[in-house]
Amino acid sequence: MQKKDDKRTKNDKLVKHKTIASIVTPLGEGGIGKVMVSGPNAFTIVNKIFTGKGIADLQNAVNQKLYYGYIHDKGQRLDEVILHIIKKEGSFTGEDIVEINCHGGIRVVMRIYECLQSSGAEGVPQDALLQQSFENNKMDFVQKEALQAVVHAHTKLGVKVLLDQHAGALSSALRQGLEIIEGIERAFLKESWYHGAIIHTDQYRGEEKSLIPNLAREGREALLNEKMLSSLENHIRCLLETASLGMALTTPQVLVILGKPNVGKSTIINAILGEERMLVHHEPGTTRDYVSELISVHGVPFEIMDTAGIRDTEDILESMGIEMALEQLQRADKVMAVFDNSRPFDQEDAEILSALSSWSKKKNADDLHQNVNTYKIIPVVNKCDLAARLDRKKIESAVTQPLYSLSARNRDRLEDLKERLVGELDTTYKPMRPIVFTRRQYCLLAKADVVVKQAKNYLNTGDKTCMISGLIDELKKIFTACLEGHGTINIRVETTR
C-alpha cells in the first residue's frame, strides 16, 4: 500500500530526493545538447567530471550563474560545456539542479549522460524531472499533465491553453469545486444534527415539538439544500463542457475526406492548407492512396486525410487506396463527404452516403455523448462555380446536416467550411480559462457529475438521504484524485472521443 504522502502514480517510481540525470534535448544532430542533473547530490556528482574556469567546487557556485569548463572522462576531455546552476530554493524540481549545455549530437550527449550515471546519478527519462517536481509539491498532477502535453502541442492556441493549465487555471477550478463540496459537507452535518434533534424530541419530548421546527428554520440558511448541490453540478458541467476543446487541442482529430474520384477532395485540402502540396489531376483516381497532413483550423489541430474514394475498381493500385479509405474511415473523428455540383448524383455518390451512414451508426453506438455528433459529418457540394447538375435532395434526405456549397478552385466559402470544422468549440482564447484536457480528468469529472446528480435525487425525493454523506465523500475523493493523480483505477466512464 502507498503511504499518504507518497505521490507515486501507478507507473511512476518515487524520485524524490534522488539525484537523477536526464537528456532533455532530442537525441540527434544539432547545435546544442542538454543534460539535466537534479537532486541533493547534483553538485558533488558533477564536480567529479567537471573542470571549470574560476570555480573549483560547484557547492560554492552562485545560484542562477553560468560556468564555463570541460567535462572529462577518466582524465580525457569529453566536451566543452556551459553549466547553469540552479539551487533548490528556486528550482522547478525542488532540488539542486545542474544543467549541462554541451555540443549537440548523439555521441557527446550520450557520453556525458553515461559519465553522470557512473558518477552516481540515476539515469531517467525526462518525465521523471516533472515527477520529482510533483513529489516535491512544486506542482500538482494537473499542472504536471499540462507540462507534459505542451511538448506535444501542435498549435499556438494549444500551447497557450496548456501553459495556462500549467499555471494553475484548471487546478484552481478544481480546488473551488472542493470548497463547494466542503461547504455541502458542513451543511449536511448540520442538517443531520437538526434532523437528529427533531427525531429525538419527537420520541422523548413530544410536548415541545413546536419549538423544534423554529430551531430548524433558523438554521435553514446553512442547511444542505438543492441550490448547493446544483451549484456544484453547474461547476462540474462548465468544466466538462471545456473537454471537447481541451482534448481537440491535445490530440488532433482525424478528418477523413470522402468522395468519388474527381469531386475535388485534393483541391479542397490544398485550399485549406493554402498551398499546392497534394497532387491534383483532372483524370479520376489520381489520389491512389491516402495522404495525411496536419492542419490547424482556428488553432485546433486536425489530421486531414485525403482518400481515393470508395468506388469499385479493377485497378489494383487504386483499389488498395480504396481499401485504405475504408480503413481510415474507422479512425475518423469527423468525415467530410464531398459531392460534385457539376455532375449528376450517381451510384458512387450513393455508396459514399451508405459508407457515411454505417460510419455514423457505429460512431453513435460507441459514443454516449451524442450532442457533438451533428458536427461529425460535413457534407460538401463542391464546384459550385459550374452549372448545377447534382440532385441535392438525394443527399439532403440521407444526412441531417446542412450542405456546404463551395468552389474549392475559386476558394469561395472556404472560411465557412473552416468555421464548420470547429463549430462546436469555443476557440477564442481567454487567459487563464480552466480547460479539461485529458481523458483522465474528463472521466473523473464525468463520474463526479453522476455522483452529484444521484445526491440531488436522494435529497429531492427524501429517499435514502443517509446515502448522501457517502456520496459527498466520494465527490471529495474524485476531486482530490483529479488534482493529485491517484485513485483513478476504479473509475470508468465513457468519453466523447
Ligand X SMILES: Nc1nc2c(ncn2[C@@H]2O[C@H](COP(=O)(O)OP(=O)(O)O)[C@@H](O)[C@H]2O)c(=O)[nH]1
Shortest Cβ 322–ligand X spacing (Å):
12
Q: Is 385 in the site for ligand X (CB under 6 A)?
A: yes
Partnered with residue 439 across adjacent β-strands are none
Q: Is residue 319 a contact partner of residue 240, using CB atoms and an 8 Å limit?
A: no
206: cell is: 413530544
How many whole angstroms separate alpha carbon 203 and alpha carbon 206? 6
Q: Is 266 in the site for ligand X (CB under 6 A)?
A: yes
Which option in ligand X, Mg ion, none does residue 119 bind, with CB closer than 5 to 8 A by kind?
none
The number of beta carbons lying within 10 Å of the beta carbon of residue 2 is 11
Shortest Cβ 379–Mg ion spacing (Å):
18
User: Interacting stretch for ligand X, rule CB under 6 A, among 220-228, 234-242, 255-263, 439-447?
Assistant: 255-263
494: cell is: 465513457
- For residue 191, which phi and psi values (nearest 5 degrees)? -60, -40
Q: Is 282 in the site for ligand X (CB under 6 A)?
A: yes
Q: Which is nearer to ligand X, 129 or 380 (CB)?
A: 380
Q: Is 407 in the site for ligand X (CB under 6 A)?
A: yes
Q: Which is nearer to ligand X, 235 or 260 (CB)?
A: 260
Residue from the set 200, 205, 209, 281 that interacts with ligand X by CB under 6 A: 281
Q: Is 262 in the site for ligand X (CB under 6 A)?
A: yes
Cα–Cα distances in angstroms (integers) from residue 289 to residues 309, 324, 333, 336, 390, in the given order: 10, 7, 19, 17, 27
Residue from the set 39, 52, 94, 261 that interacts with ligand X by CB under 6 A: 261
Q: Is 276 in the site for ligand X (CB under 6 A)?
A: no
Q: Is residue 158 a contact partner of residue 253, using CB atoms and an 8 Å limit?
A: no
Residue from the set 280, 350, 399, 403 that interacts with ligand X by CB under 6 A: 280
Hey, which bits of 133-197 come out as E strands? none
Please give the order of strands across the beta sheet that includes 377-382.
291-297, 300-306, 253-258, 334-340, 377-382, 404-405
Shortest Cβ 326–ligand X spacing (Å):
16
Q: Which is nearer to ligand X, 308 or 482 (CB)?
A: 308
Q: Is 321 in the site for ligand X (CB under 6 A)?
A: no
CA 262 vs. chain centroid, Å, equals: 37
Q: Is 39 in the site for ligand X (CB under 6 A)?
A: no
User: Interacting stretch for ligand X, rule CB under 6 A, among 8-16, 48-56, 365-373, 403-411?
Assistant: 403-411
Half-sphere exposure of 103 (CA within 13 A, CB side): 10
Q: Which residues bind Mg ion (CB under 5 A)?
A: 265-266, 287
136: cell is: 516535491
Q: Is 413 in the site for ligand X (CB under 6 A)?
A: no
